[in-house]
Amino acid sequence: MTVLVTGGNAGIGYFVAEQLAEAGAEVVLGSRDAAKAEVAVRVLRERVPDARVSWARLDLADLASVKGIEVGELDAVVLNAGVYLDGPERRETKDGHEMTFGVNHLGHFALTAALGDRLKPEARIVTMGSFAAKSAKLDFEDLQSKRDYRPKTAYERSKLAQTLFALELDRRLRAAGSSRLSVVAHPGGALDSLTPDRPPLHVRNRKLSLARIALQGKDDGARPAVRAAVGPDVHSGQIWGPRMFGLKGAPRPEPVRGPYADPEAAARLWAASVELTGVEPGFS
């Protein structure tokens, strides 16, 4: 079993990779930074001595890099990498797309297209959503936040776009009679300050945090995605998140409702994404 984890060099993505390796999967870390990827590979091998782990160059802010990704056949891909910018200035990807929408949604949309039949017939495509998407609404007149850029809104909308993409992909896979699965996972609230050390990749801020009552570390935040990628009783079109108020705890499926249950918006977003990236996910 081989799994590609985008953003596997840090944060939740690293722990997704570590837990998959512990479960015996071969993991490929998708990373835009060779030095960071090599540190992550080394740390993971220290934790899981018999791990089969490598990395592949992947910059989701550059569609040429996405299209050229060098990986073999995959049993699953975890579309985990993400940016949350906090500065007030609007930034763009190499292709001129707003950075948050471009990396989180368009980059992963194009990656799914680029992987194509390298995703095996029963492969699982796991998209990392967020509780932040629940209160978002897409603005189809301004998908790229050209008129009105606010970093928090751009992030929330990008995570809603990712979730709608995954659910639309599920509908398209079913309509085509495919056995591939498209599943959403989200980590709840996962803080660095509650995350165990993996030096030099991550060293915890030692301050005691009351946040642990309601939130969790990135190790536990990784569990819904790991369950969705390789666990039992997972079905295409599901959303997996943490049990306690969707913020912490063991993974469980959640109802698909609110802004997620909007096939019309999902189809419109799909068409816009094809236009913006010039590619369309599909399998023979």
Ligand X SMILES: NC(=O)c1ccc[n+]([C@@H]2O[C@H](COP(=O)([O-])OP(=O)(O)OC[C@H]3O[C@@H](n4cnc5c(N)ncnc54)[C@H](OP(=O)(O)O)[C@@H]3O)[C@@H](O)[C@H]2O)c1
Contact segment (CB under 6 A) with ligand X among 112-120, 186-194, 205-213, 273-281 equals: 186-194
Contact flag: residue 190 with ligand X (CB under 6 A): yes
Contact flag: residue 189 with ligand X (CB under 6 A): yes
Provide the residue type at 13 as one letter: G
Q: Does 149 qualify as catalytic in the annotation?
A: no
The footprint of ligand X on this chain (CB under 6 A) covers a number of residues equal to 27
Contact segment (CB under 6 A) with ligand X among 6-14, 20-28, 117-125, 142-150 equals: 6-14
Contact flag: residue 281 with ligand X (CB under 6 A): no
Contact flag: residue 57 with ligand X (CB under 6 A): no
Q: Quick check: bond before 242 cis, omega within 30?
A: no
Can you give the length of the chain in residues? 284
Ranges within 127-146 binding ligand X (CB under 6 A): 128, 130
Nearest-approach distance from CB 132 to ligand X, in angstroms: 6
C-alpha 270/C-alpha 264 separation (Å) is 10
Q: Which of 2, 17, 20, 59 binds ligand X (CB under 6 A)?
A: 59
Between residues 7 and 253, which has the closer beta carbon with respect to ligand X? Answer: 7
Provide the residue type at 225 as one letter: A
Cα of 60 vs its chain's centroid, Å: 11
Nearest-approach distance from CB 98 to ligand X, in angstroms: 13
Contact flag: residue 61 with ligand X (CB under 6 A): yes
Q: Which residues have a Cβ under 8 Å from the Cβ of 275 and sit 6 or more positions away?
A: none
Supply angle C-alpha 97, 16, 124, rounded to 5.
75
Contact flag: residue 37 with ligand X (CB under 6 A): no
At 75, list the tokens: 């049993």
Contact flag: residue 78 with ligand X (CB under 6 A): no
Residue nearest ligand X, CB atom distance: 11
C-alpha 107/C-alpha 202 separation (Å) is 26
Is the CB of residue 192 less than 8 Å from the CB of residue 216? Answer: no
Residue 52 is classified by DSSP as E
The residues that bridge with 216 in the sheet, in sequence order, are: 190
Q: Is 216 helix (H, G, I), strand (E, B) or coil?
A: strand
CA nearest neighbour of 43 among 197, 198, 196: 198
Nearest-approach distance from CB 276 to ligand X, in angstroms: 16
Contact flag: residue 36 with ligand X (CB under 6 A): yes
Contact segment (CB under 6 A) with ligand X among 18-26, 28-36, 176-184, 243-251 equals: 28-36
Q: Which residues bind ligand X (CB under 6 A)?
A: 7, 9-13, 32-33, 36, 58-61, 80-83, 103, 128, 130, 159, 186-187, 189-190, 218, 221
What are the catalytic residues? 155
